[in-house]
Amino acid sequence: MQVIKNQLKALENYLEFKMLFSKEEYKKRLKKVQNSMREKNIELLISQDTNNMNYLTGYDAWSFYYSQCIIVHVDAEEPLCFVRAQDAGGAYIKTYLKDENIIVYDEKYIHVWPVHPYDRLIEIIKEKKWDKLNIGVEMDSHYYTAFCHEKLLKGLPNAKVSDSERLVNWARLIKSDEEIKLMKIASEITQIGMKTAFDVINPGVRQCDAVAKIYSSLISGTKKHGGDYSAIVPLLPTGKGTSASHLTWTDDKFVEGEASIIEISGSYKKYHCPMARTLLLGKPDQKKIDTLKKTREALEAGIDVTKPGNTADDVAQAFWKVLDKYGIEKKSRTGYSIGIGYPPDWGEHTLNIQKGDKTVLKKNVCFHMIAVMQFGDWGVESSESIRVTENGAENFYKFPTELHIKG
């Protein structure tokens, strides 16, 4: 381990230059989280959400399939980064943390039942005399397993362990200006990907071959900025599949007369700007054309009332008012907050564009407003990624919105 530290220490100035955000920004994020911790009477926070780890420290590696987390003490100047020893190099390279705040566990904790990495985490908490604190965890986050939770409850009997209620996720809701810049780059990549989709989807082409080209364009990105892997693979329900959500591709060929829904996102430094569009191969289908026009009218109505001071409910009410006018029923939400995204999804799990969500919109809140319209054996879909500005709303991209027909 010392060898790794010595090698990476020589890169300190370079890494400081390459750090995605300034130390000052990371410090502001930490302070925001610690203030929320005090409000919720949480003295120690264990955050295993991959997105939150990135947000608080800059950590960025495909290591989330093993237990790892950020540990935030309510009064600490820096969090601790707890990772597998094999991934320590990534933490030294990617985070702004001091070496002593990167804590590792070795291979004896990997897949040796019932031994678990959280056994080592519990030892660390006890060593620091934090074992009697009010500890917040992310009970509904990806990768925080029931076994992780059981280990904490049994290993820290004198601590009060409770759900942190997505505390860090909510801290991420309002983006900094630097984050907005990254999302705008992601939106440029998204548009390249959608243009590629419109070009390569044709009768007789295998879905997998089309997606290979779409994916390639998302990774290649722009001439100036290459793309990252996105948190969700390209979604491509086709034909009767357009009546279902979250279907991916097959090796079937596209068929003339069938519609396809394309939902993709460019990703830049893990920031996302998703987009959904509907494409029809063959003759115009007036039913689909008219339905998508009504859907777009509803989307635009919601976007029109997006401004600071209004709520997510206000946006939803405006959207559903248009659908109600046309007698169109839709039960699912029509939007959610976006920003950083790691698999398996790019949503932030906070704000929902849904009736009853009273989250107040503020400048630099960003959300994906998406209308998934399904009717028995067919459907259409369209979406926009939106930023709340000082006076209203800004679309991250300007891309044709009508049903794309390739005759």
Do residues 117 and 70 both lie within one domain? Answer: yes
Joined tokens for residue 241? 């599949």
Q: What is the share, in percent, of the chain residues with pLDDT greater than 70?
A: 96
Q: What is the mean pLDDT of residues 20-41?
A: 97
Q: What is the mean pLDDT of the chain?
A: 95
Domain residue limits at 122: 2-171
**pLDDT for the residue 19:** 81
**CB neighbours of 65 closer than 8 A, spacing ≥ 6?**
143
Q: Is 27 in contact with 59 (CB distance < 8 Å)?
A: no
Do residues 228 and 141 both lie within one domain? Answer: no
Q: With 90 as the cut, is the pLDDT of residue 181 above it?
A: yes
Q: With 50 as the cut, is the pLDDT of residue 333 above it?
A: yes
73 - beta bridge partners?
A: 44
Q: What is the mean pLDDT of residues 247-270?
A: 98
pLDDT grade for 131, boundaries at 50, 70 and 90 = very high
pTM, to two decimals: 0.94
Q: With 60 as the cut, is the pLDDT of residue 298 above it?
A: yes
**pLDDT for the residue 407:** 77
Do residues 210 and 130 both lie within one domain? Answer: no
Residue 339: name the closest of 162, 183, 109, 127 by CA: 183
Structural domain ending residue among the three candidates 171, 190, 206: 171
Do residues 121 and 181 both lie within one domain? Answer: no
Q: With 70 as the cut, is the pLDDT of residue 35 above it?
A: yes
Do residues 70 and 200 both lie within one domain? Answer: no
Q: Which residues of 285-294 are buried (b: 16+ CB within 10 A; e: fewer)?
A: beebeebbeb
Task: Kindly report the backbone phi and psi dihedral angles of residue 379, in degrees, each rounded to the nearest multiple of 5, phi listed first.
Answer: -165, 165
pLDDT grade for 7, boundaries at 50, 70 and 90 = low
Q: What is the mean pLDDT of residues 264-274?
A: 98
Residue 209 belongs to domain with CATH number: 3.90.230.10
Do residues 109 and 88 both lie within one domain? Answer: yes
State the residue for tokens 């029109």. 304
pLDDT grade for 17, boundaries at 50, 70 and 90 = very low
Q: With 80 as the cut, is the pLDDT of residue 6 above it?
A: no
Residue 98 belongs to domain with CATH number: 3.40.350.10
Q: With 90 as the cut, is the pLDDT of residue 5 above it?
A: no
Do residues 233 and 382 both lie within one domain? Answer: yes
Q: Is 243 in contact with 379 (CB distance < 8 Å)?
A: yes
Do residues 293 and 332 both lie within one domain? Answer: yes
Do residues 346 and 292 both lie within one domain? Answer: yes
Do residues 218 and 363 both lie within one domain? Answer: yes
**CB neighbours of 143 closer than 8 A, spacing ≥ 6?**
48, 49, 50, 64, 65, 67
Q: Is 341 in contact with 271 (CB distance < 8 Å)?
A: yes
Structural domain ending residue among the three candidates 126, 141, 171: 171
Give the model confidence (pLDDT) of 203-224 as tens digits. Answer: 999 999 999 999 999 999 999 9
Do residues 252 and 385 both lie within one domain? Answer: yes
Do residues 43 and 21 both lie within one domain? Answer: yes
Helix axes 50-57, 23-39, angle to 10 degrees: 120
* Number of domains making up the chain: 2
State the residue for tokens 């990135």. 54
Structural domain ending residue among the three candidates 171, 190, 214: 171
